[in-house]
Structures are given as C-alpha cells and as structure tokens.
Amino acid sequence: MINITQLTTKQELKEFVTFPFKLYKDSKFWVPPLIKDEIETLDKEKNPVFKNADAYYFLAKKDGKTAGRIAVIINHLEINEIGKKKVRFGWFDVIDDIEVTKALLEKVFEIGREHSLEYAEGPVGFSNMEKAGILTKGFDEMNTMITWYHYPYYAKHFEELGYEKQATWVEFKLKIPEEAFEKVKKFSRIIRERYNLTVIRFKNKKEILPYVDEMFGLLNNTYNSLQTFVPIQQYQIDYYKEKYFSFIHPDYITCIRDKEGKLIAFSVVMPSFSKALKKANGKLFPTGWFHILQAQKKNEKAAFYLIGIDPEYQGKGVTAIIFEEMQKLFNAKGIHTVETNPELIENTAVQALWKDYSPVQHKERSTYKKSLD
C-alpha cells in the first residue's frame, strides 16, 4: 500500500532531505549534498526565494517504509511576469516502483490544477540557478556539486507515464594541455588591446565581494534568451553569496573590465568537490571541512560553473582571454581535467568554445513535461 504525506514540521523536512542517503547508500557515483544546506534551501523561513515562490513537500511510504519524495513548486515570478503557466517539481527521488512515482506526480497535478496552471515540468529547483534534470546518460560518473544523480529507471518511469522531454542539458570532460594554445594567446592579446580590456585577479575572498552583484547582472543578460530563464532577484543574489562563498577560492575567479572599469565578462571555476563531498557524507563536522579544504588545495580535476559575457562583447573573442587565464591557473594548480556545468543542448555557442580541448560528452540530463489537461 502506498501513502503520500505532506510534510509540515522541520523534523519531517530532515527525513525528506536524508531519504536519498538511504536510496543511494550503495552507489559509488552519487555525491551527497550537505544536509544543513539542503534543509536551509527548503526552509521557508530561511530561503528568500519564498518571497516569490511556494513549495509543498511530500514523502511516499510503501508498506510503512519511505519509498520516495517530491517537492512541488509554484514560482509566482515565472507565472505572473514571464507568463509560463508551469508547476515545477524537484527534489524527486524514488525507489524502482512506477506506482510510487505515479502517486508522487499526482500531487504535482493536484497543486498545479489548484493554481490554474497548464503543465508540469521537472525535476527543477526554484529557479534556473539550481539543479535541474533527470540523468539520462552518465550513470557511471559522479555528479558535481551543482547537479543531481539518478538511477537509470527514473527516466523510464517518466516515459512510461507519458511525460515528454522538455529541456536537455549536456556535460563535457575537457582535457587541459600543458600550455595554452598559441592561437589562444595571440587572440587574447589582440582582443585586450583592441577593446582596452583589463583582467582582474583576486588575492582573497574580500576582494571578490564588490564584483558579485555585477556578475549576477551579467548572468541575467547572458542567459535571458534561454528557455529555462527566470530573472535572478537581488535577495537571491545575497543568499547565493552566503551559501556558496565558503567554496570559492579567489584563484579560480576571472573578471574582465573595460576601460571605464565596467565588468564585461567573468568566469567561475572550482576545484572538483565531488570526492570530498562523498567523504563528508552530508556533514561538515567533524571531518567534512577537512576533505573540502584538501580538495581546494590539491586537485587534478576542476569544474566549470559559470561564465557570463556582456551581450555587447559576445562574439568578439573575449572568451580567448578567459581561456588563457584559466589555462595559466590549471597549469599552476596541476589540473589536467575540467568538467563543464550542464549546458542546454541548443546552446551551441557555448559548446563550440570547447572544441580545442578534446571534449567528451559524458553526461546528459533532461526535464520532463506533461500537460495538466
């Protein structure tokens, strides 16, 4: 017998967050999130996203045992300002039982209809700054800090229940050469001189702070034409600063400004934290912090998280500057492999950037959509 329960207490929220730790306990590839961060993200008193969103959390029980979870999300900004009549769902995990999946998704439909919405899509977070997509390729690869891992049966459940793929993201492994390509160095120098651009490097985290708001502004301008885009609000920017700042190493941030001092491009790369988070197993204490600090100091692998370029400078070769700076960093740090963040499959402009770095597409993930009719 399957029972679906809506969660209302913080103790129940902890059970919601820790269910995947049981589901994936035998997986070598699932990378656990930090439990405290997950709870705060879903806590309506702590996450400012609830200024423009509502969320409902459900657990599925089968024969008295937890068998699945789902978050149903109403993003009012997306519905009222962008005009997408969509009910979102995320934090979806389930045992290999399609009846449990069906029962959880019925809650998405119920809430979507209550709000007079037209279709359901997921798994996604509250906005495009969060994790998204069911893994459909790369089951023998560890997920990064900003992605979900799933077993192969997830996608099969959605397809059997009549859901169709909506957005699809691809991820690549890149091989880092021993030094920058000559054409990159040459083009980087030409672009710097042509547009009078300056590279900003940071010595400590305090120096980064004045640029963070501008970085998010560039993100809004860079990605506002993509299908998953929802504008990032200032209170969300402040929240992300606090949430991810502990993971940022100043060496891995590159900013570029024009002759007036305006930020026109940036990139954020991080050492790979997948193995460190695996060892931490959801907790920073007593030893989780040590593993994360070790990953920051010594790592052969990095993850490419964000890149933003002012639309005025897109297509003008600014990426050559970013690549040259990253190359210097990777060689100095002994990094041989870089993993890209998920890129929408239709975003061929970004994918073309990797062509000289022996790219191998090793993961793919999609959201699934179904009409509420």
Percent pLDDT > 70 in the chain is 97
> What are the tens digits of pLDDT across the range 165-210?
999 999 999 999 988 888 889 999 999 999 999 999 998 888 888 8
85 and 183 both lie in a single domain? no
Are the beta carbons of 284 and 36 closer than 8 angstroms? Answer: yes
Q: Which two tokens stand for residue 246?
A: 């502990």
Task: Give domain status of residue 236, yes or no.
Answer: yes
Q: What span, in angstroms and rounded, lies between the C-alpha atoms of 289 and 302?
A: 18
90 and 181 both lie in a single domain? no
262 and 297 both lie in a single domain? yes
Q: Per-residue confidence at 238, pLDDT binned at 50, 70, 90?
A: confident
315 and 215 both lie in a single domain? yes
What is the reported pLDDT for 227? 59
CA-based radius of gyration for the chain: 21
Are the beta carbons of 321 and 264 closer than 8 angstroms? Answer: no
Give, in order, the Cα–Cα distances in Å from 110 to each of 62, 162, 199: 21, 17, 51
Q: Which two tokens stand for residue 365?
A: 């993930």
Torsion angles phi and psi, residue 305, rounded to 5: -100, -55
* 168, β-bridge pairs: 366
Q: Give the range of the structural domain holding residue 300, as residue numbers without chain letter.
A: 177-335
Task: Count the domains in the chain.
Answer: 2
Q: What span, in angstroms and rounded, lies between the C-alpha atoms of 62 and 94?
A: 11
Give, in order, the Cα–Cα distances in Å from 63 to each of 2, 4, 275: 7, 12, 35
130 and 25 both lie in a single domain? yes
Task: Give domain status of residue 343, yes or no.
Answer: no
* 93, β-bridge pairs: 69
CATH at residue 241: 3.40.630.30
| pTM across the whole model | 0.92
Q: What span, in angstroms and rounded, lies between the C-alpha atoms of 240 and 49?
A: 11
